[in-house]
Amino acid sequence: MTARRHVHVLFAGGTISMRINPGTGAAMPALSGEEIVAKVPALRKEARLAVEDYARLPGPQVTPHWMWRLKDRVAEILGDAGVDGVVVTHGTDTLEETAYLLDLTLDGDKPVVFCGAMRTVSEAGWDGPANLLAAVRTAVHPASAGRGVLVTVGEQVHAAAEATKAHTQRLDSFHSPHGALGVIDRGQVVYHRPAFRARPLAAPRLVSEVDLHTMAAGVDDALLRASLARGARGLVLEGTGCGNVPPAVLPALRAALAARVPVVLVSRCAEGRLAPAYGYEGGGRMLKEMGLIFAQELPGPKARIKLMVALGVSTDSAEVKRMFEEQAPGTTA
């Protein structure tokens, strides 16, 4: 008989650990990890569990430096030869950012799986137990090894490099532009395609002074200049279409590049790659020639996380550009 695998479940917070206060009607952190595990008896049939109450933090209260400390803790757990995989519960609002930071920085093939919930324990159809069970099943599945950090929500398995929260309320709220890696089908993990996995970035620290700006019709450069004035070490722009910006922001972009502040360009569109297709003022061709870094299919919040990590490796703009071009999903040779 095959021995059950050892999974360390790290409870970090989010809706999965919340209940609704009858007096206010608002959800608040309440449940411990052991209380949640006790509501899912099937968990201990799937694996030998170690349960850790790491935090009860709502997703919007997560910070990049908190993510970095979580990464260090997960790396410590993975270093235990007796641990076969790690599951992390997390608030879904920022789960994709934390999972991606770990995907960028953790080395090794042991599965790390994030999960969360869209409903609290007080609501009918609380999805926390199903998502947690799916995460543990994913963590113990042999085919999960070497796929990078994974996300399981709504009976789907996503790559952390691709997953984004695409709906405010649906139980299957996470989406990947090229589809999920796999599904949980009647309790079985079934993979449909391989995962894109970049080489981990060996960053000794995190540079968190990176600002994210979304472009829209008629936007000027006032907010970009404010970012530079307050000491931003990097900028991420969500451009329109396949990578374009209003002409009024160009002076601030030139000032940033002259000051050796890396500027990363993504699209505000939900899907699609960037392309230096337009030669007009503010068009992608001009931005490419100016020296903006094209992050291809990465959404803005993830590009921001990646720039923080990349700056922790090197503050040289050319080296940062190389890290983005070599590591980005959607990049072609």
Strand intervals (E) in the chain: 6-11, 18-20, 27-29, 48-53, 85-89, 112-115, 150-153, 156-159, 164-165, 174-175, 182-185, 188-191, 210-214, 234-239, 263-267, 293-294
Per the structure, the count of domains in the chain is: 2
Q: Are residues 162 and 268 in the same domain?
A: no
Q: Are residues 181 and 254 in the same domain?
A: no
On whether residue 201 sits in a domain, the answer given is no
On whether residue 247 sits in a domain, the answer given is yes
On whether residue 218 sits in a domain, the answer given is yes
Q: Which two tokens stand for residue 297?
A: 């299919």
Task: Indicate the pTM of the whole model.
Answer: 0.95
Q: Are residues 175 and 223 in the same domain?
A: no
Instruction: Collect the ranges in the chain with pLDDT lower than 50.
Output: 1, 330-333
The answer to whether the CB of 68 falls within 8 A of the CB of 36 is no
- Give the pLDDT confidence score for residue 326 in this predicted structure: 79
Q: Are residues 176 and 218 in the same domain?
A: no
Q: Are residues 63 and 164 in the same domain?
A: yes
* Host domain of residue 107: 6-191
Q: Are residues 100 and 19 in the same domain?
A: yes
Q: Are residues 21 and 65 in the same domain?
A: yes
On whether residue 203 sits in a domain, the answer given is no
Q: Are residues 80 and 182 in the same domain?
A: yes
On whether residue 197 sits in a domain, the answer given is no
On whether residue 46 sits in a domain, the answer given is yes
Examine the fold and report which residue of 162, 191, 220 is the final residue of a domain before the chain moves on. 191
Q: Are residues 156 and 237 in the same domain?
A: no
CATH code of the domain in which 225 resides = 3.40.50.40
CATH code of the domain in which 160 resides = 3.40.50.1170
Report in angstroms the alpha-carbon separations of 204 from 12, 36, 172, 182, 313: 23, 35, 35, 33, 7
What sign does the dihedral 68-70-108-174 (CA atoms) show? negative
Q: Are residues 229 and 178 in the same domain?
A: no
On whether residue 323 sits in a domain, the answer given is yes
Q: Which residues are marked as active site?
A: 15
On whether residue 202 sits in a domain, the answer given is no
The answer to whether the CB of 1 falls within 8 A of the CB of 43 is no
pLDDT tens per residue across span 29-87: 999 999 999 999 999 999 999 999 999 999 999 999 999 999 999 999 999 999 999 99
Q: Are residues 22 and 170 in the same domain?
A: yes
pLDDT tens per residue across span 184-193: 999 999 999 9
Q: How far apart are CA 268 and CA 113, in angstroms?
A: 27
Q: Are residues 152 and 243 in the same domain?
A: no
